[in-house]
Structure 1
Amino acid sequence: MREPLPPAPSHPPSFDDDFAGGLDTAKWIPHYLPHWTTPERSEARYGVTADGLELRIEEDQLDWRPEDAPLRVSNLQTGEYSGPLGSHRGTHRHRPDGLVVRTETPCRLMFAPHRGRIDITVSAGADERCMLAAWLVGTEHLSELDSGEICVFEIDGSAVGPTTSARTGIKAHHDPRLSTDMAEVQLPFDAREAHTWTVIWGDGETIIGCEGVVLRRILQAPDYPMLLLIDLFEIGRASGSYPKAATVRRVTAWTS
């Protein structure tokens, strides 16, 4: 029998959004790591539906960076930071080819907790070229070492069916205090159905769960400000019908 997740805190959340009023720009930036590229390439495509905010990849959407083509992404994130134009300073230096700031962005940390609990309710898509993901990434505005990532989930459309597989865990990136620990987990349902992921981190431990049960306990946790990113990728040449979509239904967080 799987271990149940701890109950959510009894006090009111510090962050809660079901997108009923549309995209709240006091909570979300609808761009993917905009400092590493240009606005027309980083800007998300999305629509508000009765179920929440639908991230979309559309046929005329540009690649995130020409160097990464073919790769398109629609993303929401809860802050941004970069160094000066032409520098290598900025949140999430995740590419090995030497990212350079192309659009200088001010430091805006609208939601960047050190620790806490976040519940993310989503519905994935099943397009084989797409991936729905949620990450917490170190802001790096205080130190370049604060670059670790908690991968709450990565769901490939090709892995969605009557049961679903997903990747989850920790990626150290440039933080020597962490070690990368990723694993594939099996979900006993079709991820196109609405389902809730949970991450709880702090005091040297990260717990990742889904639908009320613990999937992973990892004996390490970043301890610095982290931004939340939720995104839909299309990887590979454009094909099939558009728009390709996945829905973010609600995000609720408690911090301490």
Structure 2
Amino acid sequence: MSPERESNHIGRRGLLAGGGALAVTALLKPSASAAEVPPNPLQKPGWTLDRHDEFNGSLDSSLWVTKYLESRTTAERASARYGFRNNALILRIEDSQPTYYPDNPMKVSSIQTGQKTGLHKTSPLDHSIPTQMKYTPKYGYFEIRAKTSARSGLHAAFWAIGTQDSAGQNAEIDILEDPGPNPNQFLFNLHKWSDPNVGESSNTITTGFDINTEMHIYALEWNASQIKLYIDNNLVKTINSSPAYNMVFLLSIYENAGWTGTVDPTDTRPKEFVVDYFRAYKPA
């Protein structure tokens, strides 16, 4: 089998911390686990494909912003560390990566479909940024195939936040939020924040597989009255409440976020969130 390459990106500078050209690492493609679920067909019965990125060696720049909630910090601190391996996106936390804030140990690598000053709840602002709302749907079916590698102090998430066109439009949907350390559990949440019309719902989802080592399919069906979680195309949980406005979608990995424990400094695991694809559908 011929080796496949991993492309490396570290945000706006495009250089590794020590300077010089980007590193390229040759990797053999691993054989799939018997328990892994293969990718779905691109077309989905009953739905019309709206947007997608198969992550085949690059990001769709018309879909993704690669700086996480940039108005809270500097562009360098907000920039995602990411690459590609075996036609999948690899979001990663690196030892050389700066923390998100200068006085806080949290690091984050995230891509998102929209960005503007003050997005997501309320927080101190570092500076104003241009508005870039690249893809902010209202309702639909949204799917990824992924594995998380989260453990204590490291967590990954596929989630969505309101565009905040008004102050109350800031609910959050955590479709897949893996806080570690349990390898067969994750969170499916609806956080209302300041939205008076959305109910709060927090749910621990237990799977029959290891979400850190196996690729599986996670999806959100969102309509005017409900949000539904699907795992490997099976309905697992329904929440009978729903944000009634456009939302930004995010793929994120965090270290030392403050609520998931402390990273063991001797743990040299890959700090990666591996995502095979992102697909968004609207009703046919």
Same fold? TM cut 0.5 = yes
Q: How far 1:66 moved relative to its partner?
A: 3.3
Aligned residues: 234
Q: How far 1:51 moved relative to its partner?
A: 4.0
Give the corresponding residue for 1:61: 97
* Match of residue 38, structure 1, among 74, 77, 101: 74
Is 1:203 the counterpart of 2:224 in the alignment? yes
TM-score by length of 2: 0.78
Alignment check: 8 A CA contact 1:59 1:243 kept: no
Superposition pairs of residues 1-256 of structure 1, within 5 angstroms: 8-67=44-103, 69-82=104-117, 90-93=118-121, 99-140=123-164, 142-160=165-183, 164-191=184-211, 192-235=213-256, 236=262, 239=265, 240-241=267-268, 243-255=270-282
Q: How far 1:11 moved relative to its partner?
A: 4.9
Cα pair distance change 1:51/1:145, threshold 3 Å: same
Q: Structure 2: which 5+ runs fail to align?
A: 1-42, 257-261
After superposition, give the CA deviation of every residue in 1:106-152 in whole Å (9 maximum; x if it has no partner).
22111101111101111111443211111110011x20110001110
Please give the alpha-carbon distance, in whole angstroms, between the structure 2 residues aligned to 1:61 and 1:48. Answer: 18
What letter matches 2:226 in structure 1?
Answer: E
Q: Structure 1: which 5+ runs fail to align?
A: 1-6, 83-89
Alignment check: 8 A CA contact 1:59 1:238 kept: no
Please give the alpha-carbon distance, in whole angstroms, between the structure 1 residues aligned to 2:128 and 2:270. Answer: 30
Cα pair distance change 1:91/1:168, threshold 3 Å: same
TM-score by length of 1: 0.86
Please give the alpha-carbon distance, in whole angstroms, between the structure 2 residues aligned to 1:203 and 1:193. Answer: 32
| Highest RCO, 1 vs 2 (Cα 8 Å, sep ≥ 6) | 1
Alignment check: 8 A CA contact 2:150 2:178 kept: no
Which one has the largest radius of gyration? 2
Q: What's the % identity of the aligned pairs?
A: 27
What letter matches 2:50 in structure 1?
Answer: S
After superposition, give the CA deviation of every residue in 1:73-96 in whole Å (9 maximum; x if it has no partner).
1001001111xxxxxxx2112xxx
Alignment check: 8 A CA contact 1:131 1:233 kept: yes
Alignment check: 8 A CA contact 1:57 1:242 kept: no
Please give the alpha-carbon distance, in whole angstroms, between the structure 2 residues aligned to 1:138 and 1:194. Answer: 28
Alignment check: 8 A CA contact 1:51 1:247 kept: no
Please give the alpha-carbon distance, in whole angstroms, between the structure 1 residues aligned to 2:83 and 2:219. Answer: 24
Show structure 1 runs of 4+ deviating over 3 A. Answer: 7-12
Please give the alpha-carbon distance, in whole angstroms, between the structure 2 residues aligned to 1:154 and 1:181. Answer: 14
